[in-house]
Structure 1
Amino acid sequence: MSSSTNEEAARKAVAGAVRGRAEAIADRWVQLQIQQAALDTGVSESELREEADALVAALLTGLDSGLPIDHIVDAHAELNRALTEFSLRRARQGASPTHTSLAVLALKEALLQAVQQDTQEGNELFTAALLINRLLDVAGALSFETYVEGREEIIRRQSRQLLEVSTPVVRLWHRVLGVPLIGTLDTGRTQVVMENLLQAIQDQEATVAIIDITGVPTVDTAVAQHLMQTVNAVRLMGADCIISGIRPAIAQTIVQLGIDLSTIMTRATLSDALTEAIKLTAGPPVQPHTVTTR
């Protein structure tokens, strides 16, 4: 019998076992995951069973699809989606990538046990085991890759949320906004500051924005460039921008580096900047109305 014929027979044996013993396979897979301490992340047994039922069903449709074994995981939409969702849930629940991959690979044992109950012939059982290994090795690799991508996305989202919390835009006066900066001002943080500030200017119809750098430890060429970008963006919105918190040490550093902030309104303290902002929002003095009598 040729190798392709052997593989086809083994594939039918695996598909038949999954079709006839789907519930038992799902039960066994859940128990194996529990033994691997997968529940440490707070995944309940009922959730594991729901995942197992969905993935075993998708596995059966993949085996019945006629796609080559090595391409089922990537090319079969239902199975690919089931594995991807499984891995993303694990990433969101905080499971380790090792546990996630091991959970998928544990399905090998559950499948092989089901095949053994229906197949006694040694060569066919061996070929079925090889087929299961090939199929689920690809599934394990996909789950690991998806997990890593999912965690990276979560980290990026959390980092942005932390940046937004650390750079609040506050209303200091009528049509006057303030952004107190604390810590290093890098490119990513500058973008968040700029987006939040410009949106607040539009929403609150502000005419003056104060950027307070009292909490910024050092100002170098990069930080100054980031400040200039933010100031220019504020001006494009039709608002004035004041930078406050220029301490003596920072003033000396700016001069020594040859950084030109002459086009930007600066004040030593936030209170000085607020005083200037109130003047800017007050508008020109109202001229008294003269009544002419005849």
Structure 2
Amino acid sequence: MGSAEVAARERVTSVLREEADEISDRWVQLQLAQPVLDGEVTEAELGEEADGLLSALLSGLDRGLPVEQVVTSHEEIHQAVSEISLRRARRGVSPTATSLAVLSLKEALLKAVQRHTREGEDLFHSAVLINRLLDSAGALSFEIFVEGREEIIRRQSQQLLEVSTPVVRLWRQVLAVPLIGTLDTARTQVVMENVLQAIQEHEALVAVIDITGVPTVDTAVAQHLMHTVNAVRLMGADCIISGIRPPIAQTIAQLGIDLSTIMTRSTLADALGEAVKLTDAAPSQSAPLAQR
């Protein structure tokens, strides 16, 4: 580390220690002036973020780490940047806007340094150090934002899967699962889990899976349905597939898919009629599954 960089580091550290409040206020105002935030983050929250990051930067610089490692290796800075990024990810602010918010600290910090020195060379070395420091923080905020946003999307996708695969108790010991849209591996797994859980809770004898709203049935979809039917049978219940429309029946025949082991009906009404027969034929409607 050269003497010029050491002096610049000491200068920036001194400014952070002596003018933290002024830098924080200036940074908040710069962010509020950015239309990309659009009021998604309040002024009080911005102030809290600013105080946290400035304190972390001061702590990181005091540790004597190389500038390139101050942001990436100091836990307190990583935590402060993470809180900034994840808060914006949850509010729907773009990753670019989040990075720009962090990078705008450059202006506030350099303005404070200017109040302490007018020497052109000193200002230059301070600006270089500030740029290196906050460029790393901006890149880290972008990375954390993207990771956090992906996690939010994964959770929302899982929630949508669960909502889009309801298990309806039609009457005693009869369940219905109306499916709409594409049936893939992930969704089939959710269907299977929900059906099996509902069979156990309601001591159901019959589960009707209606695929009227499924646009196409190919080999993969047929395999998914067969796995679900087999799992239902292992629970001691019967499974009926309804909604086998003429185009779907033709496709299944052309693909050579064997559904002969599965009870199928063309309409939900037909499937429900069959479910009534199955439940009426049961030895005891009140007996739990374990005793049948």
Q: State the TM-score, normalizing by the size of structure 2.
A: 0.92
Task: Name the CA distance, whole Å, in 2 between partners of 1:73 and 1:285.
Answer: 70
Task: Name the CA distance, whole Å, in 1 between partners of 2:228 and 2:6.
Answer: 65
Task: Name the CA distance, whole Å, in 2 between partners of 1:188 and 1:245.
Answer: 21
Task: Name the CA distance, whole Å, in 2 between partners of 1:143 and 1:152.
Answer: 14
Task: Name the CA distance, whole Å, in 2 between partners of 1:104 and 1:125.
Answer: 21
Task: Name the CA distance, whole Å, in 2 between partners of 1:121 and 1:246.
Answer: 82
CA drift at 1:41: 4.5
Q: Is the 8 A contact 1:41 1:93 kept in 2?
A: no
CA drift at 1:111: 0.8
Aligned to 1:214: 212
Aligned to 2:9: 11
- Residues 221-240 of structure 1, C-alpha deviations (whole Å, 9 max, x = no match): 12111111222222233322
Aligned to 1:145: 143
Q: Where do residues 167-182 of structure 1 align in structure 2 (5 Å cutoff)?
A: 167-182=165-180
Aligned to 1:57: 55
Aligned to 1:110: 108
Q: Do the aligned partners of residues 121 and 48 (structure 1) sit closer, same or farther apart at CA in structure 2, a change above 3 Å counting?
A: same
Secondary structure of residue in 1 paired with 2:216: coil
CA drift at 1:142: 0.8
Q: Is the 8 A contact 1:210 1:273 kept in 2?
A: yes
Aligned to 1:162: 160
Q: Do the aligned partners of residues 285 and 8 (structure 1) sit closer, same or farther apart at CA in structure 2, a change above 3 Å counting?
A: closer
CA drift at 1:284: 4.4
Candidates 258, 269, 276, aligned match of 2:256: 258
Aligned to 2:98: 100
Task: Name the CA distance, whole Å, in 1 between partners of 2:233 and 2:57.
Answer: 58
* Count of aligned residue pairs for this structure pair: 284
Secondary structure of residue in 2 paired with 1:118: coil
The root-mean-square deviation of aligned C-alpha atoms, in Å, is: 1.7
Task: Name the CA distance, whole Å, in 1 between partners of 2:27 and 2:137.
Answer: 15
CA drift at 1:188: 2.3
Secondary structure of residue in 2 paired with 1:246: coil
Q: Does 1:242 align with 2:240?
A: yes
Deviates more, 1:103-112 or 1:188-197: 188-197
- Residues 84-132 of structure 1, C-alpha deviations (whole Å, 9 max, x = no match): 1110111111111111110000001111111111233332221111111
Gaps of 5+ in 1: 287-294
The letter of the residue matching 1:222 is: A
Q: Is the 8 A contact 1:13 1:119 kept in 2?
A: no
- Residues 247-275 of structure 1, C-alpha deviations (whole Å, 9 max, x = no match): 12211211111001111111222122222
Candidates 190, 193, 200, aligned match of 1:195: 193
